[in-house]
Structure 1
């Protein structure tokens, strides 16, 4: 195989799919014999939803959201809403306070119907996606050793030995790949334990709806029937042991100050902490880390899943380009350069929430001030934009305001969107010049760049990388800028005469 991905969670599956679309031979090893059914992230952010959109998976994700709404609904202030906002440190963000006309939100609205996608359903959707692409997922295979020889990686597993061109660890916070590669994992130690479960409750009237704080921590009841979340400060519990009904009940009783009785578990519960760490490097030779293998933090807002999918989208096309031979190895260095700052921001975003969640008087006073700020139009809009991921930016050269951002909803004169034309992967070039000048130039990169012509409008031209990041944009006819950007990201043009680029 060209690439072996370790871990069949959302990150590993997205990475495998992107590599397959780039033409690489890829396989996935997963130590679990069956997909993980534990309760984890309950939603996805805009860049993740748009990644599904670019690969033709938006209708399936929208169907999942409709089913979620039919089953449990989403409620804010007693009113049913399909507007996803989220929370900051348990303080729910009122959708009626959000300025939905803000350009950062209004230009990324096409994926709104695919935000409430729980992690188990997302994994199932992605599993079908990689199966259609012919990617084998080998379950019950655990990595036990590895050796990077410089031109390949020898991988020892519980099912035997395999040689692969490249190895990518998407195997979680306790990553065997990271440990075997010897990559340090510095960060901050945990100070709380959290639980998430869906339970039968004998006396639910004893619990308050929404988030409630106490000196011992905090808990949430809802929004779906029987869902409880607890946070307790103190010595973290043993995360390796299975979570029991009694354990969840004991935690809920402590933080709620009630004698509430739980009678049954209705879904596989999860236990987590605020352990927060980032790998010292995301690459070591022919071995890469992505997702929780590269960074861990508290799961507030499902940021970990989204951060990992962003890693996968970024690395997938770049490694695929190197394997295909049209990009130099140096392109792979931009993976760490571009994704590390986003990971560091997410860690600080979650750390900040720990700071206002504690039960002491000082944290309570800070929480009250933050709550006042979040109860304003500007404050709520700011937080929702951050949680949604629409303000994420890669530091790229270029003066156009779109450069470095995830591509917005670019509607075309024929009623389609630019994203509709990217289901097969590769670069997307929007050409709105009267004479098709950008399209003629891009013929030199045939097979790597798909050109989409449209009626004249602004922006005149936009080049979107396979990961959805705008690499170049112009409101004029910037041939030189497009040519330089294509050379930077899409390699040298084809030497064949029929693909000779214009100067």
Structure 2
């Protein structure tokens, strides 16, 4: 095996070219920060995998900021098709009930956001991200490179790579390594970071192409069918592209399913409710459903994001969306450090901010799945006559009621907050309720800065992203010159934005509001602090107790995910 030593040095090296790794690279490049991304596969989305397809409101707000929203809509699920979740015995069998979800076109615009959630299959979404990363030209993307190990010291990380095609080994030296390398993360295991949580069960998914679905006459308006038998929920069928591509999943198995020893075709025909429909199986993928979160998202100069940091059941669609929010939080912090004005304490804050969100979102998804597989009262679901009718009515009503948290998740997507972050300055105000299906906008420090439509039809969110933004919302507010000078003294970018609109003042509640590059509120008050320099040092991480860079950890037991 040929070893090629290299003296190449990069600032930020990202392992993993899925949506989280690409999203991190894109957000860094959007901020003008170069990076390197290494990916084992020969290109982005080389095969059609049965993966994520729901892009929730915060993710779509980020896509809007990146300038790729039109492409997401163009290549996503058709805007005019309804998105009902149908509870049925098959696509053509008994309909037990449904959760009505209007088409994107007809769904009302949420007052809390300038965008609507979208659906775009990951095999389309990932290439959109990759194309934009390449267009910006600040990311050295290296396909066909497998991450095989690393060593870190006080000054940086030496990363070991293997060329998948030739087997040649090489090394790259970086300041920071970000592991977006999935649930079985080699980086996390090498650092000895526990992956805390529980396994739920084993599943297998198949991407299939259904020919002449109209002839089947399925239960109408379904975008997702949760399949119920006498044993309870046993599978699901999800319309992926609004045309012929569907994702079929078998759920609830306590033993691993091996595709080579398992005939999935009869199960697909059971789901369709017919033996007469022609379909092609494009790909089969077994997987484990789990609720796990890393005990820490950071050790020394190595950071975890996405599935390497947390796993969620797909019930709710939180996995990819949570990972992309990790990337957005981490990107501005790494950019700040590499640009010279941010402190290492920001990375301690990253762990403190994002880990509770991972725990929260993973728990929500697991609750949803528990409601799916509750098999009570299902014994007569296929029985004809009054007994079966009553069984189907009860099960349908139970599913409609219990799965509200899965289909309506604005609180999960927009309501996360960084309560205990050392780079957030609390103002003593009471927190809003943190409920999965309900979201109350607030400019309380640590929360997402609220969306308000300005008189010129921009959103307040359009003001945020490049650097810190200081909103001055009242004529009587203190002159912020001293605070701006304190930021200038350490090179921290800060823009002053004067707004004299009552709707904004009412929503933000204070005369002065400081918003971070990721759109979260860092501080607010009706007056300047007594020590402006101290405030600036706090929000750039200078007052966070120093974290001693860790040496390479002992290998942990293999991740069970």
Partner of 2:416 in structure 1? Answer: 392
User: What residue in structure 1 maps to residue 253 of structure 2?
Assistant: 234
Which of 427, 443, 466 is the matching residue for 2:484? Answer: 443
Q: Show the 5 A alignment for 1:181-260.
A: 181-201=191-211, 205=216, 208=219, 209=222, 210-214=225-229, 215=231, 217-220=234-237, 222=239, 224-226=242-244, 227-237=246-256, 247-253=263-269, 259=275
Q: Structure 1 residue 136: deviation in Å?
A: 1.1
How far residue 31 of structure 1 moved from its aligned partner, in angstroms, is 0.7
Structure 1 372/416 Cα, relative in aligned 2: closer, same or farther at 3 Å? closer
Output the CA distance in 2 between the equivalents of 1:381 and 1:270: 23
For residue 82 of structure 2, the aligned residue among 71, 74, 77 is 74
Secondary structure of 1:281's match? coil
Measure the CA separation in 1 of the matches of 2:212 and 2:75. 27
> Counterparts in 2 of 1:66-465, with a 5 A limit?
66-70=74-78, 73-76=81-84, 92-95=99-102, 105-108=110-113, 110-112=114-116, 115-131=118-134, 132-159=136-163, 160-201=170-211, 205=216, 208=219, 209=222, 210-214=225-229, 215=231, 217-220=234-237, 222=239, 224-226=242-244, 227-237=246-256, 247-253=263-269, 259=275, 262-265=278-281, 268=283, 270-358=285-373, 360-361=375-376, 370-371=398-399, 373=401, 383-386=408-411, 389-395=413-419, 396=424, 397-399=426-428, 401-403=442-444, 404-422=446-464, 425-434=466-475, 437=478, 440-444=481-485, 445-446=487-488, 448-457=493-502, 458=505, 459=508, 460-465=511-516
Match of 1:17 in 2: 26
- Give distance in 2, aligned partners of 1:372 and 1:92: 6
User: Are the counterparts in 2 of residues 193 and 233 from structure 1 also a CA contact under 8 Å?
Assistant: yes
Displacement after TM superposition at 1:194 (Å)? 3.9
Greater mean deviation of Cα atoms: 61-70 or 276-285: 61-70
Query: What TM-score comes out, normalization by structure 1 length?
Result: 0.80
Contact 2:471–2:499 under 8 Å retained in 1: yes
Question: How far did residue 305 of structure 1 move?
Answer: 0.5
Q: Point out where structure 1 has 5 or more consecutive residues left out of the alignment.
A: 79-89, 493-503
Aligned equivalents of 2:476 and 2:65: distance in 1?
A: 27
- The structure with the greater share of residues assigned to strand is 2
Length-normalised TM-score, structure 2 = 0.72
More helix by share: 1
Q: Deviations over 1:4-44 (max 9, x none)?
A: 00011121122223334555441101111111242322221
Q: CA deviation at 1:438?
A: 5.6
In 2, Cα distance between equivalents of 1:72 and 1:106: 21
- What is the distance in 2 between the residues matched to 1:481 and 1:370? 56
**Equivalence for 2:53:** 42
Deviation at 1:95, TM superposition (A): 4.9
The alpha-carbon deviation at position 50 of structure 1 amounts to 1.4
Deviates more, 1:65-74 or 1:19-28: 65-74
CA distance change for structure 1 residues 394 and 491 in 2, over 3 Å: closer, same or farther?
A: closer
Query: 1:183, CA displacement in angstroms?
Result: 2.0
- 1:26 paired to 2:26: no
What residue ranges of structure 2 are gaps of 5+ in the alignment? 1-9, 87-96, 164-169, 380-390, 430-441, 543-561
**Could you say what secondary structure the match of 2:237 adopts?**
strand
For the Cα contact (< 8 Å) 2:311–2:319, is it kept in 1? yes
Paired with 2:369 and 2:264, the residues of 1 have a C-alpha distance of 21
Partner of 1:500: none
Give yes or no for contact 1:213–1:359 (8 Å, CA) kept in 2. no
CA contact (8 A) 2:202 2:251 kept: yes
Query: Once superposed, what is the RMSD of the aligned Cα atoms?
Result: 3.6
In structure 2, do the counterparts of structure 1 residues 24 and 486 end up closer, same or farther at CA, with 3 Å as the change threshold?
same
- CA change 1:367–1:289 in 2 (3 A) is farther
Q: Distance in 2 between matches of 1:233 and 1:255?
A: 15
1:255 deviates by 5.6
1:497: which partner in 2?
none
Q: What is the DSSP-based 3-state SS (H/G/I as helix, E as strand, rest coil) of the residue aligned with 1:128?
A: helix
1:93-120, CA deviations, whole angstroms, 9 ceiling, x for partnerless residues? 5459xxx999xx4121x121x6233323
Specify the SS of the correspondent of 1:301: coil
Counterparts of 2:541 and 2:296, CA distance in 1: 25
402-411 or 332-341, which moves further after superposition? 402-411
Counterpart position of 2:64? 53
**Structure 1 residues 142-184: Cα deviation after superposition (integer angstroms, max 9, x where no partner):** 0112111221111111041111111110011122222232222
1:235-284 CA deviation, whole Å, 9 max, x = no partner? Answer: 44457x69x9x85423324566754654314x655443312221121111
Point out the more displaced range, 483-492 or 404-413.
Answer: 483-492
Secondary structure of the equivalent of 1:189? strand
Residue 87 of structure 1: aligned partner:
none
2:539 maps to which residue? Answer: 489
Match of 2:521 among 467, 470, 494: 470
Cα separation, partners in 2 of 1:356 and 1:166, compared to 1, 3 Å: same
Q: Which deviations, in whole Å up to 9, do the C-alpha atoms of 1:290-332 show, x marking residues without a partner?
A: 0001111222232111010111111121122223332322221
Q: CA deviation at 1:456?
A: 4.8
Alpha-carbon shift at residue 368 of structure 1 (Å): 5.4
